[in-house]
Amino acid sequence: MAKRKSRASSAATELEKKPVEELTKAQAKIELTRLMFEISRHDQAYHQNDSPLISDADYDALRARNDAIEARFPELVLPNSPNARVGAAPAEKFEKAPHARPMLSLGNAFDAEDVKEFRERIKRFLNLKDEPLVITAEPKIDGVSANLRYEKGKFVLGATRGDGQVGENITENIRTLKDIPQEIESGNFPEIAEIRGEVYMRHDDFAALNQRQKKDGKPVFANPRNAAAGSLRQLDSRITAARPLRFFAYAWGEMSALPANTQMGMINQIKSWGFQTSDLMKRCESLEDLLGHYQAIEEKRAGLGYDIDGVVYKVDRLDWQERLGFVSRAPRWAIAHKFSPEQATTLIENIDIQVGRTGVLTPVAKLHPVTVGGVMVSNATLHNEDEIARKDIRVGDQVVVQRAGDVIPQVVSVVMDKRPKNSAPYEFPVICPVCGSHAVRETDPKTGKAESARRCTGGLICSAQAVERLKHFVSRNAFDIEGLGEKQIAAFWEEGLVKSPADIFRLKMREEAGEIKLNAREGWGATSIANLFAAIQARNTIGLDRFLFALGIRHIGAATARTLAKAYGSEKAFSEAMRLGQDRQSEVYADLLNIDGIGEVVADALLDFYAEPHNQEVLEKLLTEITVEDFDMPDETSPVAGQTVVFTGSLTRMTRNEAKARAEALGAKVSGSISKKTDIVVAGPGAGSKLDKARALDITILDEDEWLSLIEGATS
């Protein structure tokens, strides 16, 4: 199953789950930044690489969360917010095709309430009293959108949506589609006419195509949409011609004359010019009509022979569409009412308990493998024991699983009719399955309620926790030791080579003294061992922020670690504060709580960690092996302080991470995408669309050397 990169910080993960209403302003800012990067990554995977990493429902959930946070904190909206762009910038290989009118996206509705709100918004906006508000409803085709431009009746340009402003010129490929007329002679066909719609593949054609691909030893496509996208973006149009692509028209771009004054009228015209349009489009006068037609389409969904993922509603009157206009990326006069995420039924073969870094026991359902929304699923999270009890989930049950919210599938419900007679309620273990210590549910001091998580009390005697902490210790935002990832750590732990962080830095010495024999391990030669030692040595000096994050203390994510590093400056000052702060009446404790972003929960987690003798021992040993550098305060006087910098292309004299860290230390803001607010673009070899965009926006562009000399002046 596709897996998203594991996130190093549990605090970050907790933040991701926090309801929008409960976010503080500082947290909202972090979340918006995270969502901006996350959404942009998925846009790229979807639009440029044709290989989505998550389901549409998950993607929509990310966007919905972003929008809700933006609505609550309008002042925090980022200049490069996902709403400031549609899709991803065009891929490099095709010529660019600027759109005469932008190709926009659609906002989403997920339930009847959202649809009601959509209608009411329109009524308010247009100040409608008794006039009927007619809205069309039609299937939302799950394919790739395209713009077809005709001049004097001749097809002259075919383009993908791209970023909504500029697409890719795929004219020759579009020409090969049998559904698309090359020439239109109808009397009322405007001199300039752009027809928009969706290129898609039918299920039967998709299955046959994949069979051919398999026979020819070529890769098969994950789903019809990817197959359509991949086929459409072939550089050799003969390949496209051999692919069974079809086209549904549902909209238009530039038109020198409008032959109708309603959506329905326009679609009928477009149909009369020879395009395929949906037979399922209906005019609806009331909310009930809309929802009724939504249901009717959903019922037909399985039998249509092609994928649809919702129903699109559009205001019928074009003069009203005009008045309603657009908000950022989507028209006010249209919305997509999405179908609920895809589900499947399967057997729970077992329930496994996994023990995490902080000792939380997480139940995971081991499923009989089943495909859900095109992805094979064999595990589903059961969250915690309350969730299992609430849904009464038992081993041997048939359950409905769905992929939503994240790639990790969830169990929605139990199919009670199919429950085996002899089944018994699941008993959640009260001892840790890994180390045998008691597993308890702490009470939240504020609410007095038991926490939902049951935790192993074994601390570091619990091997699961010890291993997970070590994995965290070497993770990307922590020590980030090349060649020492999760797998190796687990193996080294098993073999007794690394039991605590300090052991990592003693490997070389122990190998040389003959105490351990890394070279006896399978697949490990002199070179790989030398490389590992070099990588470890390269990290024996570390910044205070990374160091604090690496300790894996509960609630201390990368951002909090940085806050603490900034506040205390040095390891010495920090550990001193942890010693003195044990006295909750002390000034030191008050100071800790006074730091922006540090509340009691975080403060207590820190102090508890430092109070634990075992942790002190681990720290002491570690500190004899490594040097913790004082926190580099961002230099507000540097020439790049306060500037927004984007790195693109490959860098040769530093890694991306180094470049970013240096820039940030000098007070610059490093961003992943270019917008009007970008000040400097540092472009290395191979820089592509970002560089073009920077040129178009007249942004300062530096090569790596120029950048280095700019900042060297600042640091020397």
Catalytically active residues, by annotation? 140
Considering only CA atoms, which of 43, 142, 140, 41 is closest in space to residue 373? 142
Q: Answer yes or no: are the C-beta atoms of 347 and 396 closer than 8 Å.
A: yes
Q: Answer yes or no: are the C-beta atoms of 558 and 564 closer than 8 Å.
A: no
Is the CB of 339 or the CB of 473 nearer to ligand IVH? 339
Q: Does 141 participate in binding ligand IVH (rule CB under 6 A)?
A: yes
Which helix (H) or strand (E) element contains residue 148?
strand 144-151
Considering only CA atoms, which of 271, 48, 67 is closest in space to residue 163? 48
554's CB contacts (< 8 A; 6+ apart) are 10, 358, 605, 609
Q: Does 502 participate in binding ligand IVH (rule CB under 6 A)?
A: no
715's CB contacts (< 8 A; 6+ apart) are 635, 638, 666
Q: What angle do CA 563, 4, 22 make, to 5 degrees?
A: 45
Is the CB of 55 or the CB of 105 nearer to ligand IVH? 105
Closest CB 20 distance from ligand IVH, rounded Å: 22
Q: What angle do CA 555, 556, 561 make, to 5 degrees?
A: 160
Closest CB 242 distance from ligand IVH, rounded Å: 24
Q: Does 609 participate in binding ligand IVH (rule CB under 6 A)?
A: no
Tokens of 342: 């895809």
Q: Does 334 participate in binding ligand IVH (rule CB under 6 A)?
A: yes
Q: Would you give the binding string for ligand IVH spanning residues 202-241, x where CB under 6 A is met?
A: ----------------------------------------
Q: Does 163 participate in binding ligand IVH (rule CB under 6 A)?
A: no
Q: Does 43 participate in binding ligand IVH (rule CB under 6 A)?
A: no
Of 315, 336, 434, 556, the residue at the interface with ligand IVH (CB under 6 A) is 336
Q: Does 138 participate in binding ligand IVH (rule CB under 6 A)?
A: yes
708's CB contacts (< 8 A; 6+ apart) are 653
Is the CB of 325 or the CB of 686 nearer to ligand IVH? 325
- Name residues contacting ligand IVH, limited to 412-441 (CB under 6 A): none
Of 67, 198, 397, 571, the residue at the interface with ligand IVH (CB under 6 A) is 198
Is the CB of 145 or the CB of 648 nearer to ligand IVH? 145
Closest CB 49 distance from ligand IVH, rounded Å: 18
Numbers of helices and strands, H then E, in the chain: 25, 26
From the list 62-70, 98-106, 169-177, 544-552, the region that binds ligand IVH by CB under 6 A is 98-106
Intra-chain end-to-end CA distance of the chain, in Å: 49
Closest CB 87 distance from ligand IVH, rounded Å: 8
- State CA 222 to chain mean position distance: 19
Could you tell me how many residues of this chain bind ligand IVH (CB under 6 A)? 14
Of 88, 106, 484, 558, the residue at the interface with ligand IVH (CB under 6 A) is 106
Q: Answer yes or no: are the C-beta atoms of 550 and 472 closer than 8 Å.
A: yes
Closest CB 488 distance from ligand IVH, rounded Å: 43
Q: How are beta strands 108-109 and 96-98 bridged, if at all?
A: unpaired
Q: Does 105 participate in binding ligand IVH (rule CB under 6 A)?
A: yes
Q: Does 83 participate in binding ligand IVH (rule CB under 6 A)?
A: no
- DSSP code per residue over 13-44: HHHHHS-GGG--HHHHHHHHHHHHHHHHHHHI
Three-state DSSP class for residue 440: strand
318's CB contacts (< 8 A; 6+ apart) are 258, 260, 261, 262, 263, 266
From the list 1-9, 135-143, 500-508, 538-546, the region that binds ligand IVH by CB under 6 A is 135-143
Closest CB 343 distance from ligand IVH, rounded Å: 22
Helices (H), 496-630: 501-512, 526-537, 544-550, 558-568, 571-580, 587-594, 600-611, 613-625
Q: Does 560 participate in binding ligand IVH (rule CB under 6 A)?
A: no
Q: Cα separations (Å) of 175 from 246, 247, 251, 506?
A: 12, 12, 19, 65
- DSSP code per residue over 634-671: --TTSTTTT-EEEEES--SSS-HHHHHHHHHHTT-EEE
Is the CB of 106 or the CB of 504 nearer to ligand IVH? 106
* Residue 519: Cβ within 10 Å count: 11
Closest CB 42 distance from ligand IVH, rounded Å: 14
From the list 111-119, 331-339, 342-350, 519-527, the region that binds ligand IVH by CB under 6 A is 331-339
Is the CB of 105 or the CB of 269 nearer to ligand IVH? 105
Point out the residue whose Cβ comes nearest to ligand IVH: 145
Closest CB 409 distance from ligand IVH, rounded Å: 24
Q: Does 104 participate in binding ligand IVH (rule CB under 6 A)?
A: yes
Closest CB 14 distance from ligand IVH, rounded Å: 31
Closest CB 98 distance from ligand IVH, rounded Å: 17
Q: Does 373 participate in binding ligand IVH (rule CB under 6 A)?
A: no
- Name residues contacting ligand IVH, limited to 142-161 (CB under 6 A): 145
Q: Does 162 participate in binding ligand IVH (rule CB under 6 A)?
A: no
Q: Does 167 participate in binding ligand IVH (rule CB under 6 A)?
A: no
Q: How far is residue 311's CA from residue 280's CA, in Å, rounded to a whole number?
A: 10
Q: Cα separations (Å) of 72 from 20, 65, 111, 122, 462?
A: 8, 11, 21, 21, 42
Is the CB of 141 or the CB of 640 nearer to ligand IVH? 141
Q: Does 88 participate in binding ligand IVH (rule CB under 6 A)?
A: no
Q: Answer yes or no: are the C-beta atoms of 377 and 345 closer than 8 Å.
A: no
Q: Does 39 participate in binding ligand IVH (rule CB under 6 A)?
A: no
Question: 553 burial class (0-12, 13-18, 19+ CB within 10 angstroms)?
Answer: buried
- Name residues contacting ligand IVH, limited to 235-264 (CB under 6 A): 250-251
Is the CB of 166 or the CB of 666 nearer to ligand IVH? 166
- Name residues contacting ligand IVH, limited to 300-319 (CB under 6 A): 312
From the list 291-299, 330-338, 473-481, 620-628, the region that binds ligand IVH by CB under 6 A is 330-338
- Which residue, chain included where needed, has tokens 């709580």? 593
Q: Return residues touching ligand IVH (CB under 6 A).
A: 104-106, 138, 140-141, 145, 198, 250-251, 312, 331, 334, 336
